Amino acid sequence: MTKAIAVALIQILIVSSLGAKLLYDRRTRPQAWFRTARYDPNLPIRGRYVSLQIEVKDSRSAREVESKFADELRVLDNGQSRFNRFSGFGRECGSIELMDGAPVAVFDDSPAIWSCDNLTFDRWRPGPEYRLRLAEPILFFISDTAKDPTGLNREQELWVLATIPRKGPPRPIALGIKKAGEQDIRPLALD
């Protein structure tokens, strides 16, 4: 019986230490709103959640992107990619930092773009401009009674407030809606 109690206490301490670390990060690390898009998940055993692909500002100009990834862009422009508008290109490794209140990707010189030490970013071109997104989706869990927050109309954008840890993907805190032409993000009540 003593051994069972000791094992239970160790397990409680492990879970509690993880919770304490997450709470500490939420208090001490920067937080930012990220523009996001719903990503269709395929994980039926995890419960009710929304899988999100977040966007960050690119620290490179459009000219620098075109110069560095000219070959990949040529393939997209020639229609050799089946989904050229939404195909990713320009994959790079890096981290997220807060600059002037906005999350910005800071790239490292890692040659291994398929197994980055921290985060993996890729670009896509839905229109004339380039956008940068975190390659790995983040999960935002919602209650069973909450309305699905991703059913938006055209003039609305989904945003997520997240903590930016030293290493790893942002940790979502809340979802919000931003209407076209407005600056303010209205947090959603998902009770």
Q: What is the DSSP string of the chain?
A: -HHHHHHHHHHHHHHHHHHHHHHHHHHHS-EEEEEEEEE----TTS-SEEEEEEEEEESS-HHHHHHHTHHHHHHHHTT-STTTTT--EEEEEEEEEEETTEEEEEE---S-TTS-SSEEEEEE-SSSS-EEEESS-EEEE--TTSPPTT---TTEEEEEEEE--SSSS-EEEEEEEEETT----EE----
Per-residue confidence band for 112, with pLDDT thresholds at 50, 70 and 90: low
Which carries the bigger pLDDT value, residue 116 or residue 85?
116
Per-residue confidence band for 34, with pLDDT thresholds at 50, 70 and 90: very high
Per-residue confidence band for 33, with pLDDT thresholds at 50, 70 and 90: very high
Mean pLDDT of 127-155: 81
Tell me: pLDDT of 45 over 70. no
Pairwise CA distance, residues 58 & 157, whole Å: 19
The pLDDT of residue 8: 94
Per-residue confidence band for 12, with pLDDT thresholds at 50, 70 and 90: very high
User: Dihedral (C-alpha) 26, 133, 48, 27: value to the nearest 10 degrees?
Assistant: 0
Q: What tokens does 55 get?
A: 């966007």
Tell me: pLDDT of 3 over 90. yes
Q: What is the pTM of this model?
A: 0.77
Q: Do the Cβ atoms of 161 and 54 come closer than 8 Å?
A: no
Pairwise CA distance, residues 159 & 30, whole Å: 16
List b or e across 5-32, with b for residues whose CB sees 16 or more CB atoms inside 10 angstroms.
eeeeeeeeeeeeeeeeeeeebeeeeebb
Mean pLDDT of 75-82: 62
Which carries the bigger pLDDT value, residue 75 or residue 158?
158
Per-residue confidence band for 10, with pLDDT thresholds at 50, 70 and 90: very high
| Mean of pLDDT over the chain | 83
The pLDDT of residue 86: 55
Per-residue confidence band for 172, with pLDDT thresholds at 50, 70 and 90: very high
Compute φ and ψ for 54, nearest 5 degrees: -95, 150
